[in-house]
Amino acid sequence: MEFFFEDIEAFEFHENNLLDRVKYLINTEIKELGDVSVIFCSDDYLLDVNKQYLNHNYYTDIITFDYVEDKVISGDLFISVDRVKENAVEYATSVIRELYRVVFHGVLHLVGYNDKSDEEQAIMTEKENYYLGEVDFKGMEL
């Protein structure tokens, strides 16, 4: 798993802890970690990705590109840090917790969960909450 920054300043996000938690998620879902890239970026950068690859003209917190083969989890997660910060305020949570939630959301898509229907969204949220509950955020800031 590799982390990149596009159109924003690099920041500390407890990389080793996040990597351990993603590995735990993937192993718990009975999959294997392959090549996963997490690209932290600005709203404008992600909007350009959304327009170019998905033909969508709106802001979002994450876009997941799935390269999964069998049980090997591979893909690119483009995450708008601007949107993560706004979501943290809106949902009255810490930025680091919201960042982890969005990463988990993308990885859950890669392991096979969807969120198109209300039922799928409920399952996805339950899974996100479970994996967030496995993280000790004490002393972690962004």
Alpha helices by DSSP H, listed for the chain, are 15-28, 43-54, 81-90, 95-111, 118-133
Helix (H) or strand (E) holding 37: strand 32-41
Q: Three-state DSSP class for 23? A: helix
* pLDDT tens series, the chain, 142 aa: 999 999 999 999 999 999 999 999 999 999 999 999 999 999 999 999 999 999 999 999 999 999 999 999 999 999 999 999 999 999 999 999 999 999 999 999 999 999 999 999 999 999 999 999 999 999 887 6
Instruction: State how beta strands 72-80 and 62-66 pair.
Output: antiparallel
pLDDT score recorded for residue 140: 86
pLDDT score recorded for residue 139: 85
Q: Which domains does the chain have, with CATH numbers?
A: 2-133 (3.40.390.30)
